[in-house]
């Protein structure tokens, strides 16, 4: 590190001044005083002086600037940058000028932004390491806007002087005053055209001048022809610029002296209305027209109104009109005659139907031709209808057909009327019907077969097509066959049938034919007429019909004998079922069946039908006077077995069947019962019950066998069974062993058990008994406050609950913003032990607990509870308090009831409890300025003597800032000198004043050259004690220094 130095001598009064100038920052200076006389002592001292560099500079300012740029601490500077060396922590004002002038009056620099500081003007506090402040400036150019001559017009922006950033584009618009016109622009004295507005590029200073001149008012008046009514909205072009007439039909424009061209443009207020130029006021029809203007001038143009006539046809090929189809313009009020002509084609033709008109003066109706008057836009449409020829004709029919053949739109036509032709409108609908059959005498007729042409239906509606067409029907000849039969549905069926001429017919019947249940009819042959053979004995005959014919079928009667057994499979009968002629006699017989687990015996005949037999005779005779059913009835029995599983063999009644009791030792039991019969039963439960008389049972049942389930013909313990028709029938009961568990609690007001009382459990079941200690219903509330009454939040408060054997549980709560902590559910209860079948199992706990027993015999369990023998409430020994950025530890003082231990015991809790703990305030020292060591020099006998003064002063306050008055402060000082002397001073005592103020010092005289040891800094310290007179403030002790100093 380099050093700068200078030397100077004292003046006559002993004063000296030394100045060192250097462009670098420096951190300290060193003074060496050399005495000039032998009776003076030379001294030297090093003083730390933390100065640093602060620079102010600019960017964006060119070399052409002039004048001041910035001001620092009130001093102006006309430079673009400057550095200062200032004391760290010192404050200095600055200001950059908003505008900096240049040597060019049309150019300047404008302040834009800053770095290193917060604004164009302000102050800074010098930081360690220095600071650089840079302001950025932008270049601006001047724009002067002028008008000539004065009073002829103005501009926007208005005439004047403006400054704009370099590169900006400024748009200026000229506005002539009334009676004047804008002519052209002059930029920096040069002509730049007459475009308005004009844009100036600001790349240098400029002067823009708007030049105006005198003008003439050109008025163009547009009237409707023959009137003085102005037409508004008309476009009038003056020298190519379009203007629109106002509500009076007028356009007024300021123009220069000379020739100007005026054009009246055809005006369309709507698409079907227009105004057309006709002439000028002087009869001229030139449009556009040139006028020579040298004074205010008015010219008048006339226009006439026209409306559009639109001619249309529907359909487009239906015909033509006069005027032709399209748009035509006619003068307002003109009369026009319109007409329509239909078209005709090879396969269709049109007919005029009507006019449809819209618009004022139009025509709607059937007149052709017709007049219209052009009172407004008109649309006229001529409507035409399309027509075609349709012919109806028939084939396959002869002239002997006597009935109506065809009906069209309600009119009938015979064979002699056909064919017939109609002229119909295309798209119209017409009903028709081809009649069928059409008869010609007895047994012969004509039948419709098909339709071709415009329809394929026999009857319906024809929609007339767009071209000519026809409808043709085809018929065929048929003959009648009459069929008769008393029974069956022969083929062909009974009745009249029509067949096409020459058809081959196979006639037949089904034989026999059912006549109902047990009745049938048998065909014996036929009788015939016409094309049918006269007779035969078969059930079918084939012939070709060519004339009216008939056939009759002949029959005899039989009855059915049905033989059956009940139930199925119970036996056999003779004869088997079959058909017999009416009146025949038949002998019947029956025999039963047997098996290993069932048997059938004949009981009776059950007969139905005329001539049947009912009774017990076997064999018997029936007469076939009608259908007969004979049923041989048998009875069946099956075996049913009762048994029990899991029950001990004993003489106890275990089963009752149909009112009879049976012992367990008699099982299994077997019964033979009729199928479908019903029987009652009951499995008894419990059975084989054991009772114990000793305590704690006292005559309670402890063991038993109970019914569990039933399988087989029933799943119930008791009820009724109906004997089914099946093998292996049984009713089997299952029993299980159960043991008794007795559970109760000792000290029940302090806990509960679950389950409790007496319960039965299946053999081998694991049962878990739960014990739940109860909590009390009271609340313990604790408040923590300092001695000044302020709540202490965020502090942990603990409460313990103890059982007699020392088992305990605790809760911790943190005080809220009110210094409050709340504990609920006190006093606490605990579980003590299990006693199982007389054996104790100790398990002290404040939580729920369990015991599991296996039910391989009977058991009893007692749960023993108790309440806490005492509780311990613990407030923190110290309370940590943060005030601002300082943290203090307040020592516990006492409970409000006088107890001075922060831990207290609570024995009986019979109501809600509230406790308040108080904490002492602690002392903070607020030192006053000057609490330090001070060195001064005194001249004694012409020698310089050094006085070292150690000083302590300030205020004593509580941690919350309350003055502590009347407190006793004791203070002493330690020093270790370079002459290797060291030690403590005596004690100094001071009583703090009403505002807590204290002030003490200790002087030490040392000869020159003796100073404090550097170990590692000045080796001096102190010890001080503060004893407040108030009990609620804690004493204060402080010892400052290093323990390894000698004698410290």
Span 949-999, pLDDT tens digits = 888 899 999 999 999 999 999 999 999 999 899 999 899 999 999 999 999
Q: Are 662 and 650 in contact (CB under 8 A)?
A: no
| 103 within some domain | no
Question: Across 26-35, 185-194, 998-1007, which has the greatest mean pLDDT?
Answer: 185-194
Please state which of the ranges 2-6, 739-743, 895-899 shows the lowest mean pLDDT.
2-6
Q: How far apart are CA 494 and CA 1011, in angstroms?
A: 157
Task: State residue 666 phi and psi, 5-degree precision.
Answer: -90, -5
Q: How far apart are CA 336 and CA 372, in angstroms?
A: 5
Question: pLDDT band at 1004, cuts 50/70/90?
Answer: confident
Beta pairing partners, 879: 890
The answer on 945 and 883 residing in a single domain is no
- pLDDT at position 15, please? 42
Encode pLDDT of 761-792 as tens digits.
999 999 999 999 988 889 999 999 999 999 99
pLDDT band at 935 (very low <50, low <70, confident <90, very high): low
* Residue 912 pLDDT: 94
Phi and psi torsions of 741, nearest 5°? -120, 125
φ, ψ at 749 (rounded to 5°): -70, -10
DSSP 426: T
Is residue 377 helix, strand or coil?
A: coil
Position 436 in a domain: yes
Q: Is 936 exposed, middle or buried (0-12, 13-18, 19+ CB in 10 A)?
A: exposed
Q: Say yes or no to pLDDT of 366 above 70.
A: yes
**What is the rounded average pLDDT for all residues in the chain?**
90
The tokens describing 708, both together, are 């569990």
Which range is least confidently modeled, 107-116, 356-365, 440-449? 440-449
Same-domain check for residues 551 and 490: yes
| 395 band by pLDDT with thresholds 50, 70 and 90 | very high
Residue 296 is part of a domain; what is its CATH number? Answer: 2.60.40.10
Instruction: Report pLDDT for 1034.
Output: 92
Which tens digits make up the pLDDT trace of 463-510? 999 999 999 999 998 999 999 999 988 999 999 999 999 999 999 999
Q: Do 207 and 147 share a structural domain?
A: yes
Whether 210 and 224 share a structural domain? no
Neighbours of 865 (CB within 10 A): 22
pLDDT digits (tens, 9 = 90+) for 285-322: 999 999 998 888 999 999 999 999 999 999 999 999 99
- What mean pLDDT comes out for the span 264-273? 95
More confident call, 3 vs 932: 932
Exposure string over 223-246, b if 16+ CB within 10 A, otherwise e: bbbeeeebbeebebbbeeeebebe
Distances (CA, A) of 131 to 89, 116, 122, 128, 134: 12, 7, 15, 8, 10
Query: pLDDT-based confidence at 944, cuts 50/70/90?
Result: low
Structure confidence at residue 392 (pLDDT): 95
Q: Give the span between the Cα atoms of 230 and 247, in whole angstroms.
A: 7
**Burial of 738 from C-beta contacts in 10 A (0-12 / 13-18 / 19+):** buried
Say if 382 falls within a structural domain. Answer: yes
User: HSE of 860 in the Cβ direction (CA atoms, 13 Å)?
Assistant: 17
| Local confidence band at 456 (pLDDT 50, 70, 90 cut-offs) | very high
pLDDT tens digits for range 641-679: 999 998 888 888 999 999 999 999 999 999 999 999 999
> Cα 587 vs. chain centroid, distance in angstroms?
91
User: Per-residue pLDDT averaged across 52-73, rounded?
Assistant: 95
Q: Over 90: is that where the pLDDT of 1005 sits?
A: no
Question: Across residues 704-722, what is the average pLDDT?
Answer: 95
In this model, does residue 20 exceed pLDDT 60? no
Residue 1's pLDDT is: 37
Please check whether residue 53 lies inside any domain of the structure.
no
Q: Note down the domain range covering 467.
A: 411-477
The answer to whether the Cα torsion of 174, 178, 183, 187 is positive or negative is negative
State how far the Cα of 156 lies from the Cα of 173, in Å rounded to an integer.
5
Q: Assess whether 773 and 888 both reside in one domain.
A: yes
For residue 780, what pLDDT is reported? 95
Residues 6+ away with beta carbon under 8 Å from 728: none
CA separation for the pair 101, 120 (Å, rounded): 17
Query: Does residue 365 come out as left (phi exceeding 0), alpha (psi in the -120 to 50 range) or beta?
Result: left
Q: 1033 and 931 in one domain? A: yes
In terms of domains, do 981 and 945 share one? Answer: yes
Nearest CA-CA partner of 504 in 541, 472, 556:
541
Give how far Cα 893 sits from Cα of 792, 798, 876, 918, Å: 13, 17, 11, 6
Rounded distance, CA 468 to CA 976, Å? 143
Residue 766 shares a structural domain with residue 902: yes
- Please, which residues have CB within 8 angstroms of residue 704's CB and are 6 or more apart in sequence? 686, 687, 688, 689, 690, 737, 738, 760
Band of pLDDT at residue 42, cut at 50, 70 and 90: very low
- Residue 641 resides in a domain: no
Please determine, for residue 206, whether its predicted confidence score (pLDDT) is greater than 70.
yes
Split at pLDDT 50, 70, 90, the class of 324 is very high
* Residue 1027 · residue 962 · CB < 8 Å: no
pLDDT at residue 932 greater than cutoff 90: no
Which structure tokens are listed for 616?
């017990």
pLDDT tens readout for residues 585-617 = 999 999 988 888 888 889 999 999 999 999 999
The pair of three-digit structure tokens given for residue 915, joined into one six-digit string = 């406790």
HEC-encoded secondary structure of 490-545: CECCCEEEEEECCCEEEEECCCCEEEECCEEEEEEEEEEECCCCCEECCCEEEEEC
Contact 709, 715 (CB under 8 A): yes
User: How do beta strands 335-342 and 519-529 pair?
Assistant: unpaired
The verdict on 822 and 872 lying in the same domain is: yes
Q: What is the largest CA-CA distance in the chain?
A: 191
The sign one gets for the Cα dihedral 923, 924, 928, 929 is: positive
Other beta carbons less than 10 A from residue 284's beta carbon = 10
Alpha-carbon distances of 800 from 522, 814, 827, 904, rounded to whole Å: 114, 15, 10, 10
Between vectors from CA 187 to CA 183 and to CA 189, what angle results, nearest 5°? 90
**CA dihedral sign of residues 115, 120, 122, 123:** positive
For residue 177, is it within any domain?
yes
> 239 by DSSP, 3-state: which?
coil
Last residue of a domain, one of 875, 894, 919: 919
Q: What is the percent of the chain with per-residue pLDDT over 90, rounded to a whole number?
A: 74
pLDDT grade for 936, boundaries at 50, 70 and 90: low
Residue 276 CB-density burial (10 A; 0-12 exposed, 13-18 middle, 19+ buried): middle
856 and 970, same domain (yes or no): no
Residue 234, SS3 per DSSP: coil
Half-sphere exposure of 836 (CA within 13 A, CB side): 18
Taking only Cα atoms into account, the Rg of the chain, rounded to an integer number of angstroms, comes to: 69
Provide φ and ψ at 205, rounded to 5°: -65, 145
What local confidence, expressed as pLDDT, does residue 9 receive? 58
**pTM score, whole prediction:** 0.40
Model pLDDT, residue 32: 44
Residue 664's φ and ψ, nearest 5 degrees, are -60, -30
The pLDDT score that the predictor gives to residue 36 is 44
Assess whether pLDDT exceeds 60 at residue 418: yes
The number of angstroms, rounded, from the C-alpha of 232 to the middle of its chain's C-alpha atoms is: 59
Does residue 567 sit within a domain? yes
Task: Give me the pLDDT at residue 13, please.
Answer: 43
Assign 37 a pLDDT band (cuts: 50, 70, 90). very low
Q: Is 187 exposed, middle or buried (0-12, 13-18, 19+ CB in 10 A)?
A: middle
pLDDT band at residue 22 under the 50/70/90 scheme: very low
Q: Which of 535, 555, 575 is the endpoint of a domain? A: 555
Dist. CA 650–CA 687, nearest whole Å: 9
With residue 139 as reference, give the H or E element that holds it: strand 131-148
Segment holding 705, helix H or strand E: strand 700-712
Res. 1046: pLDDT tops 80: yes
**1000 and 965 in a common domain:** yes
Q: State whether 853 and 871 are in the same domain.
A: yes
- What mean pLDDT is predicted for residues 856-871? 91
| pLDDT at residue 939 tops 70 | no
Token duo for residue 798: 């603990």
> How does residue 1002 score in pLDDT terms, banded at 50, 70 and 90?
confident
Indicate if the alpha-carbon torsion angle 925, 928, 929, 934 is positive or negative.
negative
Task: Pick the last residue of a domain from 421, 455, 477.
Answer: 477
Q: How far apart are CA 1048 and CA 1039, in angstroms?
A: 10
Residue spans of alpha helices (H) in 227-335: none
The residues near 37 (Cβ < 8 Å, ≥ 6 apart) are none
For residue 274, the surrounding DSSP H or E stretch is strand 273-280
Q: Bridge partners of 19?
A: none
**Which token pair is 263?**
């054009």
Total structural domains within the chain: 8
Q: What is the pLDDT of residue 941?
A: 53
Query: C-alpha angle 463/467/469, rounded to 5°?
Result: 70
Summarize pLDDT for 619-646 with one digit per residue, the tens: 999 999 999 999 999 988 899 999 999 8
> Is residue 104 assigned to a domain?
no
CA gap 623, 817 in Å, rounded: 117
% residues pLDDT > 70 (the chain)? 94
What are 11's two structure tokens?
A: 């003046």
Q: What is the pLDDT of residue 10?
A: 52
Q: Look at residue 45 and tell me whether its pLDDT is greater than 60.
A: no
Is the bond preceding 192 in cis, omega lying within 30 degrees of 0? Answer: no
- List, for residues 429-439, the tens digit of each pLDDT value: 999 999 999 98
């Amino acid at each position: 590190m380099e050093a700068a130095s200078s030397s100077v001598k004292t003046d006559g009064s002993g004063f000296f001044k030394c100045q060192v100038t250097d462009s670098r920052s420096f951190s300290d200076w060193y003074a060496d005083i050399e005495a000039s006389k032998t009776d003076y002592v030379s001294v030297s001292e090093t003083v730390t002086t933390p100065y640093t560099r602060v620079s102010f500079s600019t960017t964006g300012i060119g070399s052409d600037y002039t004048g001041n740029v910035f001001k620092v601490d009130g001093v102006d500077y006309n430079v673009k940058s400057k550095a200062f060396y200032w004391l760290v922590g010192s404050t200095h004002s600055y200001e950059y000028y908003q505008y900096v002038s240049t040597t060019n009056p049309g150019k300047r620099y404008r302040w834009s932004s800053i770095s290193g500081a917060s604004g164009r003007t302000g102050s800074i506090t010098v930081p360690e390491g220095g600071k650089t402040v840079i302001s950025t400036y932008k270049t601006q150019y001047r724009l002067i806007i002028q008008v000539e001559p004065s009073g002829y017009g103005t501009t926007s922006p208005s005439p004047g002087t403006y400054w704009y950033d370099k590169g900006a584009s400024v748009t200026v618009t000229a506005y002539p005053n009334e009676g004047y016109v804008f002519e052209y622009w002059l930029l920096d004295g040069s002509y730049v055209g007459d475009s308005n507005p004009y844009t100036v590029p600001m790349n240098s200073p400029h002067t823009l001048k708007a030049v105006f001149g005198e003008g003439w008012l050109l008025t163009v008046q547009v009237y409707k022809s023959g009137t003085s009514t102005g037409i508004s909205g008309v476009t009038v072009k003056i020298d190519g610029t379009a203007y629109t007439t106002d509500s009076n039909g007028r356009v007024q424009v300021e123009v220069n002296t000379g020739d100007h061209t005026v054009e009246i443009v055809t005006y369309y207020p709507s698409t079907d209305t227009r105004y057309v130029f006709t002439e000028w006021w002087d009869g001229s029809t030139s449009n556009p027209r040139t006028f020579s203007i040298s004074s205010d001038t008015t010219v008048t143009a006339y226009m006439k109104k026209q409306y559009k006539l639109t001619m249309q046809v529907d359909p487009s090929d239906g015909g033509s009109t006069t005027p032709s189809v399209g748009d035509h313009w006619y003068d307002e009020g003109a009369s026009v005659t319109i007409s329509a002509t239909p078209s005709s084609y090879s396969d269709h033709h049109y007919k005029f139907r009507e006019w449809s008109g819209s618009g004022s003066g139009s025509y709607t109706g059937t007149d052709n031709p017709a007049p219209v008057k052009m009172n407004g836009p008109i649309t006229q449409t001529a409507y035409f209808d399309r027509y075609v020829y349709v012919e109806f004709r028939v084939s396959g029919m002869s002239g002997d057909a006597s009935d109506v053949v065809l009906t069209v739109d309600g009119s009938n036509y015979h064979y002699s009327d056909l064919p017939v032709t109609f002229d119909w409108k295309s798209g119209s609908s017409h009903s028709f019907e081809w009649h069928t059959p059409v008869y010609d005498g007895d047994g012969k007729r004509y039948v419709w077969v098909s339709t071709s042409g415009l329809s394929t239906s026999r009857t319906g509606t024809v929609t007339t097509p767009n071209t000519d067409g026809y409808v043709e029907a085809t018929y065929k000849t048929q003959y009648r066959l009459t069929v008769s039969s008393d029974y069956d549905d022969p083929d062909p069926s009974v009745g009249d049938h029509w067949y096409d001429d020459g058809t081959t017919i196979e006639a037949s019947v089904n034989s026999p034919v059912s006549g109902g249940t047990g009745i049938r009819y048998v065909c014996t042959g036929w009788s015939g007429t016409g094309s049918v053979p006269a007779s035969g004995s078969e059930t079918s005959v084939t012939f070709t019909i060519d004339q009216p014919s008939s056939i009759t079928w002949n029959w005899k009667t039989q009855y059915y004998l049905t033989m059956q057994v009940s139930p199925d499979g119970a036996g056999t009968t003779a004869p088997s079922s079959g058909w017999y002629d009416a009146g025949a006699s038949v002998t019947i017989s029956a025999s039963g069946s047997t098996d290993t687990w069932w048997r059938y015996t004949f009981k009776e005949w059950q007969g139905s039908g005329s001539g049947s037999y009912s009774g017990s005779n076997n064999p018997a005779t029936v007469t076939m006077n009608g259908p007969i059913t004979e049923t041989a009835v048998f009875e069946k029995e099956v075996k049913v077995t009762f048994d029990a599983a899991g029950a001990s063999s004993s003489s106890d009644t275990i089963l009752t069947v149909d009112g009879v009791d049976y012992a367990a030792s008699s099982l299994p039991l077997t019964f033979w019962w009729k199928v479908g019969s019903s029987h009652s039963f009951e499995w008894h439960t419990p059975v084989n019950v054991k009772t114990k008389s000793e305590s704690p049972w006292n005559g309670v049942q402890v063991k038993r066998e109970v019914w569990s389930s039933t399988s087989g013909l029933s799943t119930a313990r008791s009820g009724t069974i109906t004997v089914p028709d099946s093998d292996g029938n049984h009713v089997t009961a299952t029993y299980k062993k159960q043991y008794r568990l007795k559970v109760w609690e000792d000290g029940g007001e302090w806990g509960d058990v679950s389950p409790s009382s007496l319960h039965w459990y299946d053999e081998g079941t694991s049962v878990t008994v739960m014990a739940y200690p109860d909590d009390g219903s009271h609340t313990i509330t604790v408040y923590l406050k300092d001695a000044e009454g302020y709540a202490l939040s965020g502090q942990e408060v603990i409460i313990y609950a103890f059982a007699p054997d020392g088992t305990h549980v605790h809760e911790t709560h943190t005080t809220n913003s009110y210094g409050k902590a709340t504990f609920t559910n006190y006093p606490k209860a605990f579980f003590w032990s299990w006693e199982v079948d007389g054996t104790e199992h100790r398990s002290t706990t404040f939580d729920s607990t369990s015991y599991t027993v296996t039910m391989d015999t009977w058991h009893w369990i007692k749960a023993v509870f108790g309440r806490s023998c005492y509780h311990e409430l613990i407030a923190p020994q110290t309370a940590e308090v943060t005030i601002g950025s300082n943290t203090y530890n307040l020592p516990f003082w006492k409970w409000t009831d006088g107890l001075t231990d922060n831990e207290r015991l609570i024995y009986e809790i019979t109501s809600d409890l509230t406790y308040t703990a108080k904490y002492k305030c602690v002392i903070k020292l607020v030192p006053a300025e000057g609490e330090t060591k001070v060195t001064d020099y005194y001249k004694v006998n012409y020698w310089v003597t050094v006085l070292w003064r150690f000083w302590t002063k300030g205020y004593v306050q509580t941690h919350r800032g309350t003055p502590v008055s009347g407190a006793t402060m004791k203070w002493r000082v330690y020093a270790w000198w370079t002459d290797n002397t060291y030690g403590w001073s005596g004690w100094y005592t001071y009583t703090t004043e009403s505002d807590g103020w204290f002030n003490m010092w200790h002087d030490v005289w040392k000869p020159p050259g003796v100073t404090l040891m550097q170990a590692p800094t000045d080796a001096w310290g102190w010890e001080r004690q503060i004893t407040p007179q108030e009990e609620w403030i804690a004493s204060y002790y402080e010892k400052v220094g290093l323990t390894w100093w000698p004698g410290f």
